[in-house]
Amino acid sequence: MSTSTVTTTAPADRPADEKTPPRPSRRRGESGLLARLTTHGVLTVASLIALFPVAWLVFLSLGPDKDDYLRPGGIWGKMTLDNYTFVLQNTNFFDWLKSSLIVSLGTTFIGVLVAATTGYAVSRMRFPGYRKFMWVLLLTQMFPVAVLMVPMYQILSDLQLVDSYLGLILVYCSTAVPYCAWLMKGYFDTIPFEIDEAGRVDGLTPFGTFARLILPLAKPGLAVAAFYSFITAFGEVAFATTFMLDDEKYTLAVGLQSFVSEHDAQRNLMAATAVLIAIPVSAFFYLVQKNLVTGLTAGGTKG
């Protein structure tokens, strides 16, 4: 930390008769002007880098012509919202949105429902096979798309579930369920064990303790798990691309790819669709991001 500081206020916690400090003093947590400028500089640059690709996409979506992305300067003169109206009126955007929502909400619902008790069990109870079970939960996080895709495809086509919402939901649950259980364990760990004890002393069964005391307290944790499985399912590309064959059942992630085919690349429409997808998702993300962060790190910091 640099010491070239211009102090504006005299430190209050220093005895008045102290004569010695030629060395500039500052309060804890404040840093020098130079350091502050550097910090702001770095953060501003980083913010611009984070912002630019998204802003660029928004800008391009306003250009009416499909090759405008090559001549961005020309867009200023002829900005229009035509792309948006076209996408909303003449494509399957709403079908795709419907598919995405059905699949993501279905996954979220099953994931949270199934995983809640397990998260509690692995947070509070030690049973033979505990370590193995946790290892399996971790193992499922490691599955490359390639490992389950082929057998899933075969099994689902045997069951006639290819190109159906239920099939895709089942596939997504294979990652969402263990991940939810794991996230919720992290959250349950942060709830004091004394609450369980109090419940048990008052005569509740372990399940009663869970359902009546812990579950209401764990609402933020449930929300994080729900939200995280929603986002993951919403943004998944590989399985959706392979398993959804019908134009109307595409999820948004697949539908977006369909704008660029071998013959034709309607990049202006694609940009507009991308923005339409991004706005609600990002808004939602920002609403819950505080909880999300606490939830994720609670899983990460507690043993």
Partner 1 sequence: MTVAIDRATGKRRGDRAPRPGPVSRLKRGYQKHWYAYAMIAPVALVLGVIVLYPLAYGLYLTLTDADSLNSARTIGVNEIEATYKFIGIDNYADILWGETAYDRFWSKFVWTIVWTAACVALHYGIGLGLALLLNQKLRGRTLYRLVLILPWAVPTFVTVFGWRFMLADAGIINDGLSALGLPTPAWLEDTFWQRFAAIMVNTWCGVPFMMISLLGGLQSIDASLYEAAEMDGANAWQRFRHVTLPGLRSVSSTVVLLGVIWTFNQFAVIFLLFGNTAPEAQILVTWAYQLGFGQQPREFAESAAYGMLLLAILVVFTSFYRRWLNRNEQQLAI
d(CA 52, CA 83): 21
- Give CB contacts under 8 A, 24+ apart, made by 296-300: 296/183, 296/186, 296/224, 296/228, 298/186, 298/187, 298/189, 298/190, 298/221, 299/182, 299/183, 299/185, 299/186, 299/187, 300/186
Residues in the chain: 303
Report if residue 137 touches partner 1, rule: CB under 8 A. Answer: yes
Q: Is 303 in the site for partner 1 (CB under 8 A)?
A: yes
C-alpha distances (whole Å) from 136 to each of 23, 124, 141, 182, 270 are 58, 18, 9, 11, 40
265 three-class SS: strand
Shortest Å distance, C-beta 54 to partner 1: 6
The three-class DSSP label of residue 5 is: coil
Per CB under 8 A, 249 contacts partner 1:
no
The amino acid occupying position 9 is T
| Residues numbered 218-247 forming contacts with partner 1, rule: CB under 8 A | 231, 234-235, 237-238, 241-242
Query: Binding of partner 1 at residue 139 (CB under 8 A)?
Result: yes
CB 84: neighbour CB atoms within 10 A? 17
Instruction: Give residues 64-83 in contact with partner 1 (rule: CB under 8 A).
Output: 69-70, 72
Q: Which of 102, 114, 204, 223 binds partner 1 (CB under 8 A)?
A: 114
Q: Given candidates 6, 10, 16, 49, which one binds partner 1 under the rule CB under 8 A?
A: 49
Number of neighbouring beta carbons within 10 Å of residue 218? 22
Q: Which helix (H) or strand (E) holds 146?
A: helix 145-158
Q: Which of 207, 219, 246, 247 binds partner 1 (CB under 8 A)?
A: 207
Q: Of the candidates 84, 86, 133, 165, which one interacts with partner 1 according to CB under 8 A?
A: 133
Site for partner 1 in 269-298 (CB under 8 A): 270-271, 274, 277-278, 281-282, 285-286, 289, 293-294, 296-297
Nearer residue to partner 1 within complex by CB, 93 or 210: 210
Please say which residue, 86 or 206, places its beta carbon nearer to partner 1. 206
Among 7, 21, 197, 219, binds partner 1 (CB under 8 A): 197
Nearer to partner 1, 88 or 293 (CB): 293
215 class by beta-carbon count within 10 Å (0-12 exposed, 13-18 middle, 19+ buried):
middle
Is 203 a residue that touches partner 1 (CB under 8 A)? no
In the region spanning residues 163 to 192, those forming contacts with partner 1, defined by CB under 8 A, are 170-171, 173-174, 177-178, 181-182, 186
Instruction: Please say whether the beta carbons of 234 and 104 come within 8 A.
Output: yes
Binding of residue 40 to partner 1 (CB under 8 A) = yes
Considering CB under 8 A, how many residues would be counted as binding partner 1? 107
Other Cβ atoms within 10 Å of 55 Cβ, number: 11
Nearest to 118 by CA among 175, 170, 183: 183
Nearest distance in Å: CB 139, partner 1: 7
Nearer to partner 1, 81 or 136 (CB): 136
Question: CB-wise, 79 or 147, nearer to partner 1?
Answer: 147
CB of 273 to partner 1, least distance (A): 9
Q: Using CB under 8 A, which of 96, 226, 267, 272 touches partner 1?
A: 267
Using rule CB under 8 A, residue 36 touches partner 1: yes
